Chain A
Amino acid sequence: EVQLVESGGDSVQPGGSLRLSCAASGFTFSSYSMNWVRQAPGKGLEWVAYIGGSSSTIYYADSVKGRFTISRDNVKNSLYLQMNSLRDEDTAVYYCARGRGYGENDCWGQGTLVTVSS
């Protein structure tokens, strides 16, 4: 069974840092691109970052560029999101999502909550 499990969400002060993890199982992790998508409370989905299977291609949303870093470890079957200089508006549930084929997201984790507040 394909499974994605996020962890690392927490409450942090503005300007702080946090590292999210996503553990993948049930598929050949290195063969798929991966994404982070977030959802602020009561709001819609916002794509955050993309990483190709070999980590050679990486994209970021303008709202997080220069502050967030996506990475992966294909030996550990894990995806990461290093978040620095956190702002109030980064408060959201963060989902990891598998990219299939040309990029549609066919499998999602259950999400992990990040709260940025003083």
Chain B
Amino acid sequence: EIVLTQSPGTLSLSPGERATLSCRASQSVSSDYLAWYQQKPGQAPRLLIYGASSRATGIPDRFSGSGSGTDFTLTISRLEPEDFVVYYCQQYGSSRTFGQGTKVEI
């Protein structure tokens, strides 16, 4: 099983700042089958990024994904108030697993 480790657990920033979230895999993720999801309190997750770097439909361009192999990054270029929630990475190259999440807080 591929284990995904997200860091940091909590990221404290201010609106307008840049957020960099990390997701490290215990082994290489095949074909960069890595996605990022956003989850707001009381809501289901929402797909942000798939294939490590492709934005899902309707996702603002301040969200970007990068990386390959075992190291992946989600970048939010300029934080908006609604971005202060929890983010998860998921690999779907070998079965499926989620990271433990990163909370972005003000």
Residues of A bordering B, CB below 8 Å: 35, 37, 44-47, 50, 59, 61-62, 95, 97, 99-106, 108-111
Contact = CB atoms under 8 A, between A and B. Distances in A.
Nearest to B100: A44
A62 B1 CA distance: 9
Q: How many of chain B's residues touch chain A, expressed as a range?
A: 20 to 34
B3 interface: no
Per CB-CB distance, the 9 closest pairs between chain A and chain B, nearest first, are A103-B92, A104-B50, A108-B44, A47-B96, A104-B35, A45-B98, A44-B101, A106-B47, A44-B100
Nearest to A62: B1
Interface in B60-106: 88, 90, 92-93, 95-101
A75 B2 CA distance: 34
Nearest to B44: A108
Given A35-B96, A103-B96, A106-B47, A45 B101 contact: yes
B54 to A, nearest CB: 9
Contacts of A108: 44-46
A102 B33 contact: yes
18 contacts: A44-B98, A45-B39, A47-B90, A47-B95, A47-B98, A61-B95, A100-B50, A102-B51, A102-B92, A103-B93, A104-B51, A104-B56, A104-B90, A105-B37, A105-B90, A106-B47, A108-B44, A109-B44
Given A50-B95, A50-B96, A102-B33, 16 more contacts: A35-B96, A44-B88, A44-B99, A45-B37, A45-B88, A46-B98, A47-B96, A62-B1, A95-B44, A100-B50, A101-B50, A103-B96, A105-B90, A106-B50, A106-B57, A108-B45
A106 B35 CA distance: 10
A38 to B, nearest CB: 10
Contacts of A61: 95
